[in-house]
Amino acid sequence: MDDALLVVLLLADATVRVATPLVLAAFAALYSERAGVVDIGLEGKMLAGAFFAAAVASSTGSPWLGLGAAVAASVALALVHGFACIIHKGNQVVSGMAINILVAGLAPTLAYAWFRQGGQTPLLPGEARLPQVHLPGVEALSGIPVLGPVYRELIDDANVLIWLTVLLVVATHWVFTRSRFGLRLRAVGENPSAVDTAGLSVTRLRYQAVVITGVLTGIAGAYLSTAHGAGFVRDMTAGKGYLALAALIFGKWRPWPTLFACLLFAFTDAVQVRLQGVPLPVVGVIPVQFIQMLPYVLTVLLLAGFVGRAVAPRASGVPYVKER
Amino acid sequence: MAQDAAQGMTGRGFGRPGDVPGWVGYALLPLLNLLAALVLSGLVILVIGEKPLDVLALLVTEAVGYPEAIGYTLYYTTSYIFTGLAVAIAFHCGLFNIGGEGQAYLGGLGAGLVGLALTGWPWPVAALGAVAVSALFGAVWAAVPGWLQAKRGSHIVITTIMFNFIAAAIMTYLLVDVLIRPGSQSPETREFDPGVWLPAMDRALGWIGVAIPASPLNLSFLWALACCALFYLFLWRTRWGYEIRTVGRNERAAVYAGISPARNIILAMAISGALAGFVGVNEIMGVQHRILLNFTGGVGFVGIAVALMGRNHPVGIILAALLFGVLAQGGGQVSFEYPTVNRELVMVIQGLVILFAGALENLFKPRVEALFRRRDGRTAHG
């Protein structure tokens, strides 16, 4: 009984840890895409964040400076994206792709020049990594069945960025349903000319959205290299940016369903690690690769309308031109 | 949205005073964008502590300075021509095919299965079979997203990205669990029978008495050039090509003209996938002679840059593919000579070229065009 509970808790814990960067990146894209700017450059911005977080944390010993550097680098890339898509009405998909490829080359190049360790940063010591939040009362509660283990395994000693992500989810819900800024962002993604007519600057709103995207992807990258991992390694995002995008689509561009999709994807990943080589009833051993491709297949099916319908913000991907 | 990129050769719209000469659109602006990308790449080289001009000089020498290097450069160029054409035909239909990577990967599977199956057959049969089956595999892998876009309204950019990941997972499964050489640890198939290998160019030219040094360059280079010619004839000289371009320019007008957008979207994607699949012929039948993991190494993404730089025209694509071939070969060699430079520097340059030639293509355009219009205006008014 207790063993089963422990397995469930360990799975849940792994799910939360894998889901955190996905949630951060997917919510980052939520801001951008609800404002009408398509962002497939999440991968690149996360990778830049991961590199600068680890590089600065390694050089200065402070994970907080690393976090700051990650956010700065990621926002800089977001501004490039904004410059191309908002000011110059460039193709948003091409711009996102360019940023992904650029950073995939730039991060190891800089890492090599900086640390001379084959395109990665040195292993970070404990104090250069973002800390976990130790909660009081673990011993006191550990005697209580169910609640004790849940508190000990799942809630205590979670990374500070996991808590930040929880806050972000709640705040995002509030922003998009209650705040004036959020409602305007949504409007600018659906009908920019109406927003323009109302006397608000489409350019300004979209820039604000893109900068928020940069901040959040930077944090997501920092989580990968200085909280979850202990240093930057080449291609450490490994498609998480695209997976986050898939989660956003799966969540139909809404906060709570997007969170759910991230947790689902992360859960398949956690299960996949546990299921390797374990025969299941009826189907036998499922090859890992099939579980890994599940999120992508689900997204394709969803987009094809076989599992509900995902409707993107109407103006997403379309540069706004006054007086069209 | 891909239409903007597809219509790269604008510059002479209706009602615009003072025509801008055509070469501004397809020569001067791409060169300016390329220059901007190179200047920024130079800055990156400065940042990591090397001299940009020295690196550039070495890069060019190592790419085209001696016959063997040219062979390697053209071998990279071959794959880039295939993926560049693949991205370009989708662009002409108003579609953005990011799935070149997955399509090339499955094309390689198709070519490889032919290589494995046809042991003992003469190589021309194997070559034809590899071309046909790799085209089929690539076409199917691209036509499904095409069908989903045309009939179910799912976004082609997202589905092709997802299909890249699905292709990677399938290939890993096949190579680890199914096709792996018995008794082997590394996930790859057995080597094909040497009789079915696509002859390398040095061997092929040896038959007619021309001696060149050995390199991975093989006969698929000629097939790539043939594809360029076929691409031109198809797109600008046949009815089907006309229909595809019409759908890309204006879907609604196409419907009024009795052209089915759905049919053309699927057709264009199938051709696009087939072209990307030919990467498998070059890599698997021409060079590796076995199916192995990740042999595509980003060629699908480079294809985007090639198509954008080449303005979606076969001649431009050959030139752009040559440029990226030089970068790939020269960049790889530079990383041997300079301890601080590694191969990824090439990706930095590729990314910057995509950024400037694709996303920021309007950066210099208004100013340069205004310059030419003003000059025209002045001469008109005397």
Contacts of A287 in chain B (CB under 8 A): 173, 176-177
What pLDDT, on the 0 to 100 scale, is given for residue B25?
77
Lowest pLDDT segment from A65-79, A273-287, B239-253: A273-287
A304 and B158 Cβ atoms separated by less than 8 Å: no
Please tell me if residue B208 touches chain A, with a CB cutoff of 8 Å: no
**Separation between Cα atoms, residue A192 and residue A289, nearest integer Å:** 42
- pLDDT for the residue numbered B4: 44
Task: Determine whether the interchain pair A94/B341 forms a contact, defined as Cβ–Cβ distance below 8 Å.
Answer: no
Distance from A173 to chain B by nearest Cα, in Å? Answer: 25
In chain B, the residue whose alpha carbon lies closest to the alpha carbon of A293 is B166
Q: Which residue of B has its CA nearest to A94?
A: B359
More confident residue, B342 or A1: B342
Residues 29-58 of B with CB under 8 A from A: 44, 47-49
CA distances in angstroms from A103 to A142, A159, B317, B334, B351, listed in the order given = 46, 26, 25, 20, 8
Q: Give the model's pLDDT for residue B256.
A: 93
Residue A32 corresponds to which tokens in the numbers above?
């951008």
Q: How far apart are the C-alpha atoms of B231 and B141, rounded to whole Å?
A: 20
Helix axes B100-117, B156-173, angle to 10 degrees: 30
Residue B52 and residue B359 in contact, taking contact as beta carbons nearer than 8 Å: no
Number of neighbouring beta carbons within 10 Å of residue B116:
17
Which of A14-23, A157-166, A258-267 shows the lowest per-residue confidence on average (mean pLDDT)?
Answer: A157-166
Q: Residue A159 has what DSSP assignment?
A: E
What DSSP designation does A57 have?
H
| A-B Cβ pairs (cutoff 8 Å, strict) | 163
CB-count burial class (<10 Å; 0-12, 13-18, 19+) for A217 = buried
Between CA B322 and CA B320 the distance in angstroms is 5
Q: Tell me the C-alpha distance between B98 and B161, whole Å.
A: 6
Contact B5 A91 (CB under 8 A): yes
Q: Looking at chain A, how many residues does it have?
A: 324
The per-residue pLDDT for range A225-248, each reduced to its tens digit, is 998 888 898 888 888 999 999 899
More confident residue, B360 or A152: B360
Task: Kindly give the confidence (pLDDT) of every residue in chain B, 382 residues in length, as a single tens digit, with 9 standing for 90 and above.
Answer: 444 444 443 433 444 445 677 788 778 888 888 899 999 999 998 988 888 899 889 999 999 999 899 999 999 999 999 999 999 999 999 999 999 999 999 999 999 999 999 988 999 999 999 999 999 999 999 999 999 999 888 888 889 999 999 999 999 999 988 888 888 888 889 999 898 999 998 888 888 888 888 889 999 999 999 999 999 999 999 999 999 999 999 989 999 999 999 999 999 999 999 999 999 999 999 999 999 999 998 899 899 989 988 889 999 999 999 999 999 999 888 888 887 777 888 889 889 988 998 888 888 888 888 888 776 665 555 4
Q: How far is CA A311 from CA A143, A191, A247, A252, A304, in A?
A: 49, 15, 14, 7, 11
Q: Chain A: nearest CA to B58, how far in angstroms?
A: 18
Closest residue in chain B to residue A310, using alpha carbons only: B154
- Residue B1 and residue A239: Cβ atoms within 8 Å? no
Q: A95: which chain B residues are within 8 Å (Cβ-Cβ)?
A: 355, 358-360
On whether ipTM exceeds 0.95, the answer is: no
Q: Residues of B with CB below 8 A from A293's CB?
A: 165-166, 169-170
Tell me the angle at which helices A294-303 and B123-152 cross, rounded to the nearest 10 degrees: 50
- What pLDDT is recorded for position B43? 92
Per-residue pLDDT tens digits for A302-319: 888 777 677 788 888 788
Q: What is the mean pLDDT of residues A136-164?
A: 77
Contact between B321 and B310 (Cβ < 8 Å): yes
List the single best residue of A42, A47, A93 to mutate versus B (max B Cβ within 10 A). Answer: A93
pLDDT value of position A1: 53
pLDDT of residue A174: 95
B316 CA to chain A: closest CA distance, Å?
Answer: 19
State the smallest CA–CA distance between residue A305 and chain B in angstroms. 7
Supply the pLDDT for residue A323.
65
Q: What φ, ψ does residue A118 adopt, rounded to 5°?
A: 60, 45
Q: Where do runs of H (alpha helix) occur along B153-256?
A: 156-173, 201-207, 220-237, 239-249, 251-256
Rounded to an integer, the average pLDDT of A282-298 is 80
Query: Which residues in chain A touch residue B48, judged by CB atoms under 8 angstroms apart?
Result: 109-110, 112-113
The predicted pLDDT at position B6 comes to 41
Residue B380 has what pLDDT?
54
Q: Give, in degrees to the nearest 5, the angle at Cα B237 between B314 and B9.
A: 45
Partner residue facing B350 (CB), from A90, A101, A107: A101
Mean pLDDT computed over A41-68: 93
Q: Could you give the CA distance from residue B217 to residue B220 in angstroms, rounded to a whole number?
A: 8
Q: Determine whether the interchain pair B355/A297 forms a contact, defined as Cβ–Cβ distance below 8 Å.
A: no
Task: Label residue B375 left, alpha or beta by phi (over 0 means left) and psi (-120 to 50 means alpha).
Answer: alpha
What are the residues facing B218 on neighbouring strands?
B200
Distance from CA of B296 to the nearest CA of A (A): 15
* pLDDT the model gives residue B7: 43
Q: Give the whole-angstrom CA distance, residue B296 versus residue B279.
A: 8
